[in-house]
Structure 1
């Protein structure tokens, strides 16, 4: 039994610039408040700004999309966001295939897309994804950088796999 495992990390230059800006603003605010004030409020502002900055930076740096395909089904998760855990058993999948897509025109960009709708997606980068259509006609796409490998593992577990890529 083969298992497909993939972890995708966000490698966008603008995200690293955002993280750098958050760090500079947080540290700068703490420094300015401490240096330019003799009151205890400066220390409080410093601690609050760092208490906000550090978790945001850690969360942004730890974002990753994990996908696992095995004999039970497909599990995907936008780590560390617990509410993004999705599992589709083979018995609830009507159709599944690897396809190319346009993140901007089809889903409006990258990340967690389509919350609250029947057409959802988790996308980090690229234009290849695993399209899942459930028996109640809900659509979910998970981006992958390993389309051929995913297709080969899916073929072992699902009989109606189509070849769209």
Structure 2
């Protein structure tokens, strides 16, 4: 990882609809814990014991939103290749050396139809690392006799493509 970074993009979960979905168990766990632990009113028709309610509050009311807050995708162009890390799922960067890149182009795509959604995806059109939106750079890699395709989602795909072009030219 000593190679100079020529381009870097960090993407986090920013869609309001995702955070609204995440908020449902957070609000329910906080409300249930408040009702049962502070007001002394059993929460629900078959209430959990207080220790379980405290555990649910810790898991869904604290750890769950913190976990989603720290999910991020980092894309870097360095002198020796393209690097992608989907934190916390990748322990380190995935490196794609320039020598195996056959082609790349900026595209608008349909994340759900083409790849099955956002995240680390394996879809009909190849693999994808995407965080949000519907734009990115589609890479074709030479891997022996096969050509593998990888969509790297980006909020600034033109800059990513330009950084790749400049790095390959050097």
TM-score with structure 2 setting the length: 0.77
Q: 1:140 aligns with which of 124, 146, 150?
A: 150
Say how many residue pairs are matched. Answer: 155
Do the aligned residues in 1 keep the contact of 2:128 with 2:150 (CA within 8 Å)?
yes
For 1:76-155, list aligned pairs within 5 A: 76-82=84-90, 85-114=93-122, 119-136=126-143, 137-155=147-165
Do the aligned residues in 2 keep the contact of 1:33 with 1:42 (CA within 8 Å)?
no
Q: Assess, with a 3 A threshold, how the Cα gap between structure 1 residues 6 and 59 changes in structure 2: closer, same or farther.
A: same
Structure 1 vs Structure 2 CA RMSD: 2.5
1:36 aligns with 2:41: yes
Deviation, structure 1 residue 139: 1.3
Deviation, structure 1 residue 144: 0.9
Deviation, structure 1 residue 84: 8.2
1:8 aligns with 2:11: yes
C-alpha offsets along residues 49-88 of structure 1, whole Å, 9 cap, x if unaligned?
1221121111112222210011111111222223684221
- Segments of structure 1 that go 5 or more residues without pairing to the other structure are 160-165
Matched with 1:18 is 21
Deviation, structure 1 residue 120: 0.8
Q: Assess, with a 3 A threshold, how the Cα gap between structure 1 residues 157 and 135 changes in structure 2: closer, same or farther.
A: same
Secondary structure (helix, strand or coil) at the match of 2:49 reads helix
Matched with 1:69 is 77
Output the CA distance in 1 between the equivalents of 2:105 and 2:153.
12
